[in-house]
């Protein structure tokens, strides 16, 4: 069974930093692009970032570019999101998600349960 | 940025009825559109990709259609477990970005 498990969500002060992790199991992790998608409280979905299967290519939404860094460790079946210079607008549930096979990494067929990041003083 | 507008915002129906959800793009996204279902407190679930392809394990009562700027998700006969929020998502300008629509809530 494909499973994704996020961790790391927390309360953080504005301008602070936080790192999220997503542990994957049940599939060949190093064959799939992986992504982060967030959802502010009571709002819709917003794509945040994607990393290629090898980790060699990364993509970011304009809203987080320069502040967030996505990475992965294929030996640990885990990928990460390092967030810095956080603002209240980054408050959201962060979901990790698995892309469809190679040619469609931008559609997400498996999601974690989400981890809440709250940015507040 | 391509904007996706979903309508209606809320759809009030009964089990057994047909649901028709709309997603309109601000410019053509070809067939690069997906639909997701999200229930309260849960992660989204992929239903349809590339406008009309059902994802693995999705019941046949869910179908997608459209191309260009106008897309439709149809649920042929609502089951109790189908009451949820539905989002469309486009990837026309990948890797320059992905966007989601604002969602349609299907309620009893």
- DSSP state letter for B38: E
Nearest CA in chain B to A116: B41
8 Å CB contact between A52 and A33: yes
| pLDDT above 80 (res A20) | yes
Lowest mean pLDDT among A21-25, A99-103, B28-32, B34-38: A99-103
What pLDDT sits at residue B85?
98
B105: contact with A, CB 8 A cutoff: no
Q: Residue B94: pLDDT band by 50, 70, 90 thresholds?
A: confident
Return the percentage of chain B with pLDDT > 70, whole number: 100
8 Å CB contact between B90 and B99: yes
8 Å CB contact between B23 and B102: no
Q: Residue B95: pLDDT band by 50, 70, 90 thresholds?
A: confident
Q: Residue A50: pLDDT band by 50, 70, 90 thresholds?
A: very high
B76: distance to nearest CA of chain A, Å?
A: 22
In the stretch 32-71 of chain A, residues with CB closer than 8 A to chain B read: 37, 44-47, 50, 57, 59, 61-62
Nearest CA in chain B to A5: B43
Taking contacts as CB-CB distances below 8 angstroms, the residues of chain A near B30 are: none
Averaged pLDDT score across all residues of chain B: 96
Quick one: average pLDDT of A43-55? 95
Question: Which of B38, B95, B103 lies closest to A59 in CB terms?
Answer: B95
Q: Residue A19: pLDDT band by 50, 70, 90 thresholds?
A: very high
Q: Residue A13: pLDDT band by 50, 70, 90 thresholds?
A: very high
| pLDDT above 80 (res A14) | yes
CB contact under 8 A, B97 and A95: no
| pLDDT above 90 (res B91) | yes
8 Å CB contact between A3 and A109: no
Residues B33-84 have pLDDT tens digits of: 999 999 999 999 999 999 999 999 999 999 999 999 999 999 999 999 999 9
Taking contacts as CB-CB distances below 8 angstroms, the residues of chain B near A37 are: 44
| pLDDT above 90 (res B96) | no
Nearest CA in chain A to B105: A44
Averaged pLDDT score across all residues of chain A: 96
What pLDDT sits at residue B80?
94
Give me B35's structure tokens.
């639909």
Taking contacts as CB-CB distances below 8 angstroms, the residues of chain B near A109 are: 46, 55-56
Q: Residue B1: pLDDT band by 50, 70, 90 thresholds?
A: confident
B86: contact with A, CB 8 A cutoff: no
Question: Which of A44, A59, A109 lies closest to B46 in CB terms?
Answer: A109
B85: distance to nearest CA of chain A, Å?
A: 10
Residues A89-118 have pLDDT tens digits of: 999 999 999 999 878 889 999 999 999 999
| A38-65 burial: b if 16+ Cβ within 10 Å, else e | bbeeeebbbbbbbbbbebeebbbbeebe
d(CA A19, CA B12): 40
A8: contact with B, CB 8 A cutoff: no
8 Å CB contact between A70 and A49: yes
Give me A31's structure tokens.
């064959």
């Amino acid at each position: 069974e494909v499973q994704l498990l996020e961790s790391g969500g927390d309360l953080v002060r504005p301008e602070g930093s936080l790192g999220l992790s997503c542990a994957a199991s049940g599939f060949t992790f190093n064959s799939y692009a992986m992504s982060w998608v967030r959802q502010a409280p009571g709002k819709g979905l917003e794509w945040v970032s994607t990393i290629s299967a090898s980790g060699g290519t990364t993509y970011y939404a304009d809203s987080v570019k320069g502040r967030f860094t996505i990475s992965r460790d294929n030996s640990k079946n885990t990928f990460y999101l390092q967030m810095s210079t956080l603002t209240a607008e980054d408050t959201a549930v962060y979901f990790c998600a698995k892309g469809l096979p190679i040619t469609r990494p931008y559609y997400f067929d498996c999601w974690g349960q989400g981890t809440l990041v709250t940015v507040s003083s | 940025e391509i904007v996706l507008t979903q309508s209606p915002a809320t759809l009030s129906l009964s089990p057994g009825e047909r649901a028709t959800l709309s997603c309109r793009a601000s410019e053509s996204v070809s067939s690069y559109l997906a639909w997701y279902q999200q229930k309260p407190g849960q992660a989204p679930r992929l239903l349809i990709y590339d406008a009309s392809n059902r994802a693995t394990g999705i019941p046949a009562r869910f179908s997608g259609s459209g191309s260009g700027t106008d897309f439709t998700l149809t649920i042929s006969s609502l089951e109790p477990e189908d009451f949820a929020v539905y989002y469309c998502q486009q990837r026309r300008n990948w890797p320059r970005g992905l966007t989601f629509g604002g969602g349609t809530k299907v309620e009893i």
